[in-house]
Each structure stands twice: as C-alpha cells, then as structure tokens.
A and B are shown apart, each in its own frame.
Chain A
Amino acid sequence: MIRFENVVKRYPGEATDAVHNLNLEIESGTICMLVGPSGCGKTTTMKMINKLIRPSSGAILIGGRNIDTVDTIELRLSIGYIIQDTGLFPHMTVGENIAVVPGELGWKKDRISSRIDELLDLVDLNPKAFRNKKPNELSGGQKQRVGVARALAGDPPIMLMDEPFGALDPITRARMQDEFLRIQEKIRKTIVFVTHDVEEAIKMGDTIAVLKLGQIVQLSSPMEILSNPSDPFVSELIGGRNSLKMLSLMRCGQIMKTLSPAEVEEARGSPQGILGMKATAQDALSEMLRTGERFIFVEDERHDVVGVLDFENLLERVNRHGITS
C-alpha cells in the first residue's frame, strides 16, 4: 500500500504549490489512475514515490514505511518505472535493457537470461526473435511491450507508469491497454498510472484520482466518477456522454441473463447479434442498433450461446447508478 500524508511540493521560485496538501491511499494490487490536465501535478505526485522528486513537506509511506528512511537505490529497484516513449536505452539490445535491473540486483547470468525469455513471453514477443534486437528496430507498440517487460524484470511490487501509451496510435494504444490489463490480472501489482486521457483512466483504473492545480478534486471508482462527478471541472474533463462511457465499463458476461438449455436451443439459428462475454455493454448497445432488435445473445469462449442481454436491462443498469449531471 502506498500512502501520501499531507504531501506538499513547491518548486523553488514558484508562487504556488505544484502539489498541495495531498492525501491519497493506494491499495495493494490495484491500479490508481492520476488524471488531469498538464500542470495539475500528476507527474510530480508520481515521481515523489520513487524519490525522483523530493516533497517539500509531508510523508509518503510504502507498506507503512516512510520512504525517507529507505535507501534510494533500494527503493527504486523495488519499483518498476515506465515513461512515455519507454526510455529504452538505444545502445542496448532488448535483452540487455530488460537485464538492467536484475543486473543491479546482482542476479546470476542464467537466471537473468531465463527471466528475459519469461518476460518477453509475457508481453507476447518471441524471445528468440526479439532479445537481440535494438530498440530502433522495433515499432512503437513493440517498444512499449519491452518497456513493460523491463519494468517488471526485478518483479517489483509497485509500478509507476507515466503516460506509457501516450505516443501510440489509437489502435495500438487500445490493444496495449487491453493487454496490460490482461497482464495485470496475472501479476497483481500496485500500479500508479499517470495519464491526461480520461477515457484511458476510466478503462484502466480501479480508482481514479482527478487532479487540478495540485489537489485531488475527486477520488473514486470509474463508475462513481461517471455517475457522480464531484464538480463542474470533473464533468468537463469527462466531456459528456457519461452513460455511454458507463456502458463501456460493464461486461456482457456480468450483466446478461443466463439462459436455460431449452431457451438456448430456441435461440440457435436466430439471426440476432451475438457477442462474447468480454464484450462491453456499449458493444451490445451498438449491436442492437445495428440489428434493430432490443436484445442480443452472449456466447462463451467455445462459441456456445449462454445468455441474453436486452435493452431494458441496459437502461436499468445505467439508471441504477443515477446520473446526476
């Protein structure tokens, strides 16, 4: 768990605090998104966790220990760090890049080597093909995967990610987000993720901290932020269409009505749209609009229809959260 206690950061020569009296608790194994416009203090907040920036006052605790009492190098080695454009070292191969932190930790050569293969597998890059490539031979998405692999190399409990997908094209970005969530399901790290993209925050976050002028204006779950924005600034940041965004947070598999075998038999061969369990309710709505029907079927991984989702169901789900704006 990471805890900020009354943390203030004022840069020398500035009239106002970059981060003002910040209190924040980040649960272990969750993703906390720091979101806000440029200059809101989100990156400063994050860099204080690995001591790249020292707070002017206040305390930051990791697992109950004040980070001031922890050796800087030791602290940083236990925190994975990914920045925009990944910060990969251009003169090192992919394998050497990943080996940096294990090397600093003093691991043996063969352990590092097998770790490189393991991580490249995890981020879906063929180890044989990629470990000896230089970063400039990689596409933007591949670099990002290597960046993730490098940050995970020492198996740190915490990861800091500073707009990691900011430089990618929208399609690659969406794919990387999905894959990162898939990886996170396996590794369950405590992640602090900085972004200026609210859509990304809503998609990736377990909790979202909206920052404005160095202060947290709202700290809650994505669903709560969408249904109850705490003030006009947050509403403006979300930029409307809240209900549609809420639908994008619901999975068909979670909100469908399960069908009995007889009903499944009946559904077979009907022309209605069919979606997978992991499709979002937004996809379902779009599918309904496309087919002109008020319901769609949901199928499992083996392409067997298991449930149904209808329009009334969606209406009720969104209304239950009571949109206030």
Chain B
Amino acid sequence: MVSLRSPLKIVLLGSIGVLMTVWVVENPQDSVVARLVTYDKVWGLLLQHFYLVGASALLAVVTSVPLGIALTRPRLKSWAPRVLALVNVCQTVPSLAVVALSVGFMGVGSRPAIIALWIYALLPILSNTLVGFQEVDPAITEAAHGMGMKAWRVLFRVELPMAASMIMAGIRTAVTITIGSAILAAFVGGGGMGNLIIAGNNISRAQVLVLGAALPVLMALMADLFFEGIEKRAKY
C-alpha cells in the first residue's frame, strides 16, 4: 500500500505548490508583487533550482559511489576512515562560506553554486556507500568468488545490488539537503528559488517571501517521498 500512497502524497504536495503560486499571481498584494511574480518567472526559477540540485547531486553520485566502492576494495580499505574524516571536515564548513569561497575561484553564476552544493552532497552518499558495501556478508562474497565469478562480476552482480538500498538512502538524504541549500545559490547569481526569498525580503512583501520559502520546502518533501519509494524498491 505504501507504494500507492506515496505517489498520491507527491501529487498532493505538488498541487499545494501550484495553488500557492496561482493564488499569489492572481491576487497580488500590489503592483510590485504583480510585476515580480508571474507564472513565467516562477517556472523559470523552479527550473533553475532543479538544475542546481540535479547537477550537483548527479556530480556527487558519480564521484562518491565509485569512491565508496574503491574504498571498500581490500587494497584501499585502510584509507576509508581517513577519506571519510576529510569529507566530514568539509561538511562542517558553513555552506555560505563554501559558496563564497567557490566564487573566488570560478566567479559568479550557477557553477560555483553547483560546486558548493556538490561538496555538501558528497558525505551522505559516500558514507552510505561505504556502510552498504561493508554490510555485505563476507561469506556471501567468498561464496561468489568460490563459485567462479570474476571479481568485477561479484562487484556488479552481488555486492552492488545488495548495497543499492543503502546507497539510495544516501542519495535521498543528499538530494533533500541540497534542495534546501540551493537557496544560497541566489547570493552568487546562481538563481533558483533563493531569488524570490531575497527579493521578497528586500521589498518587504510577505507574499513573495512565503512563496519563495514554501516552494523549496514542498520540493524537498516530494523528493524525499520519491526517493523513499526507490529505496524501498532497491531492497531485496
């Protein structure tokens, strides 16, 4: 039943977002709000937000999953705690500072924002990948080797499927966090829903502020439900 209920919840959350947008656009407080909030503009910012989150999460997946796999191979096993500690340290630096620092290297725009978000998405995926692989019973991988499976086949047909649900849980956490953090991109000209919040704050219009804050929250909740479904499906 869970599988049926979560798409419903996702649709429900989505419609709340749509209704809020419609309400603000059709009943603006004043002409300033009417000019600032149009369907086109909200849609554009939403897409930008999506792009920021999608790009950084994808980058995080393609870096931390292979890294996690490498760090669970016998030869590199001893490096795992050190790498994990390093990523942990990166995580403790305030996100705004990372965003600001990356501007120093790459100038303004969406690129520094994506790099900053990527660094934040690394840790949950990496640590979950490590745990996922470490939890595979060594007796099972030994059986796989003993039966005559080649090393890469053991990895892809036995270990990876068994760790998949754990890895998905990491991706779920990373994406949900990133949706919230992506608001910061607005400070470096990266766009996204942060633009609405900053604008709403500058012109002191509650409608704009609330809409800009509510939409990312709804997005995060929807993403959480979506990835929860995938995570459950990945479970054996």
Give me the interface of A with B, judged by CB distance under 8 Å.
Answer: 47, 50, 52, 73-79, 81, 83-87, 89-91, 100-101, 104, 134, 150-151, 160
Contacts and interface: CB of A to CB of B under 8 A. Distances in A.
A134 B142 CA distance: 20
Given A91-B162, A91-B236, A134-B236, A104 B148 contact: yes
Interface string B143-167: 1111111100100011001100000
Nearest to A100: B147
Nearest to B137: A87
B140 interface: yes
Interface in B144-195: 144-150, 153, 157-158, 161-162
Contacts of A151: 147
22 contacts: A52-B142, A52-B145, A73-B150, A75-B148, A78-B148, A81-B143, A83-B142, A83-B143, A86-B143, A87-B142, A87-B144, A89-B140, A89-B144, A89-B158, A91-B162, A91-B236, A100-B144, A100-B147, A100-B149, A104-B149, A134-B236, A151-B147
A111 B33 CA distance: 70
B174 to A, nearest CB: 23
Contact of B140 (A81, A87, A101, A150): A87
Interface in B28-44: none
A291 B158 CA distance: 57
Contacts of B146: 47, 50, 52, 76, 79, 81, 83, 160
Interface string B37-59: 00000000000000000000000
B162 A90 contact: yes
B139 interface: yes
**Helix, strand, loop or mixed for chain A's interface?**
mixed
Given A90-B236, A91-B162, A76 B142 contact: no
A52 B148 CA distance: 10
A77 B139 contact: no
Contact of A87 (B143, B150, B153, B157): B143
3 shortest interchain CB distances as A-B pairs:
A87-B143, A76-B148, A91-B236
Nearest to A96: B157
Contact of B161 (A77, A84, A91, A100): A91
A2 to B, nearest CB: 16
Contacts of A101: 147-148
Given A52-B146, A81-B143, A86-B143, 14 more contacts: A52-B142, A75-B148, A76-B148, A79-B146, A81-B146, A81-B147, A87-B140, A87-B144, A89-B140, A91-B236, A101-B147, A104-B147, A104-B150, A104-B153
B144 A77 contact: no
Contacts of B147: 76-77, 81, 100-101, 104, 150-151
Nearest to B150: A73
Contacts of B153: 104
Contacts of B145: 52, 76
